[in-house]
Amino acid sequence: MSVRNLRIEFPTRRGTLVAVDDISFDISPGEILGVVGESGAGKSLTGAAIIGLLEPPGRIAQGEILLEGRRIDNLPYEQLRRIRGRQIGAIFQDPLTSLNPLYSISRQLVETIQTHLPLNDREARTRALALLDEVGIPSAGERIDHYPHQFSGGMRQRVVIALALCAEPRLIIADEPTTALDVSIQAQIISLLKGLCHEHGTAVMLVTHDMGVIAEAADRVAVMYSGRIAEIGPVQEVIRTAKHPYTHGLMGSIPLIGHHVKKLTQIDGAMPRLQEIPAGCPFNPRCEKVMDCCRVERPNLQTVQKSRVACHLFDGADGEARAGE
């Protein structure tokens, strides 16, 4: 799955807001790409755009989305809908709203399976049972006929994962799948998701604001800021040796157990609103290492070690030396 130069705009009566501005990334089969950023960074919109669930008036203004080499962002609605269920699965933050409260779990699963796979009722039910088993629902045979409200939050999220896996999709978009859950349940869901994807070779785009979840689950991570990718690279590298000053500040602002600090590193200010994104690098008003060119020229992603970073600090050959400080 690849995203090329994606740009999402919101036309409003006070002018057009650019929520996502020229981002590109790939996810290979079996890989989990974490997309992390603060609220309003455009990470959920990117996910929604890929599934084709962008809410109007939001629209893709530019760029393309390719799934296994085939362009899907310009498909007519009907075709897109088929692909959405068959090849792209979705997991959202609130499991309660993704399940229909009026139907039993079995009915929802069987229906979804039969929409995408040519199975009869019995076969579909068998498959549903196997799926529930796979996502770790205890005594699935008994619980399959229960209704969503009879499940706890963690179990519901497991059911949603089972639903997303129904048609053996090539790609799963998971938007804050653990945010509504307690820490102990979070850990369960993450390891489940991770295991399943590696097993089935499914590509996953994991959208979250929680660095902990990323560290735990993702293979690579893209850090978004003001609708742009600030840094993208292998998760270890980004977390341990963050290159972009924003990522660096972000990592420092997370309190860690076992590290007593008097004060957390803090990035002053807040992410600019969409209508107030400054020229040049969007992070320049808050950046400690700001240079003159940052206020004028927008930095492009460039390769530094195994990562790609959008920061003028890495312009030219001595970039790494300057960032080393």
Whether 85 contacts 167, CB under 8 Å: yes
> Is residue 104 within the footprint of other proteins (CB under 8 A)?
no
Complex with other proteins: residue 53 or 215, whichever CB lies closer: 215
Partners of 228 in beta bridges = 225
Is residue 288 classed exposed, middle or buried when 0-12, 13-18 and 19+ CB atoms within 10 A define those classes?
exposed
Per CB under 8 A, 184 contacts other proteins:
yes
Residues 6+ apart with CB under 8 A from 154: 181, 182, 185, 188, 189
Q: Does 307 bind other proteins (CB under 8 A)?
A: no
The verdict on 188 binding other proteins (CB under 8 A) reads: yes
Q: Which of residues 12-41 bind other proteins (CB under 8 A)?
A: 13, 38-39
Part of the chain binding other proteins (CB under 8 A), chosen from 26-34, 46-54, 231-239, 294-302: 231-239
Residue 185 interacting with other proteins (CB under 8 A): yes
162, 124 contact by CB (below 8 A)? no
In the complex, least distance from residue 308 CB atom to other proteins, rounded to whole angstroms? 20
Cβ neighbours for 314, distance < 8 A, ≥ 6 positions apart: 243, 302, 304, 320, 322, 323
Where residue 322 falls (left for φ over 0; alpha for ψ -120 to 50; beta otherwise) is alpha
Among 34, 249, 280, 282, binds other proteins (CB under 8 A): 249
Assess 212 for contact with other proteins (CB under 8 A): yes
- The H or E element spanning position 18 is strand 15-26
Site string for other proteins, 143-182 (x = CB under 8 A): ---------xxxx--------------------------x
CA distance 26 to 45: 17
CB of 288 to other proteins, least distance (A): 13
Per CB under 8 A, 139 contacts other proteins: no
**In this structure, are residues 109 and 166 in contact, taking their beta carbons and an 8 Å threshold?**
yes
Which of 68, 121, 256, 296 is the binder for other proteins (CB under 8 A)?
256
Under the rule (CB under 8 A), what is the footprint of other proteins? 13, 38-39, 152-155, 182-188, 190-191, 209-213, 215-216, 235-236, 239-240, 249-250, 252-258, 261-270, 285
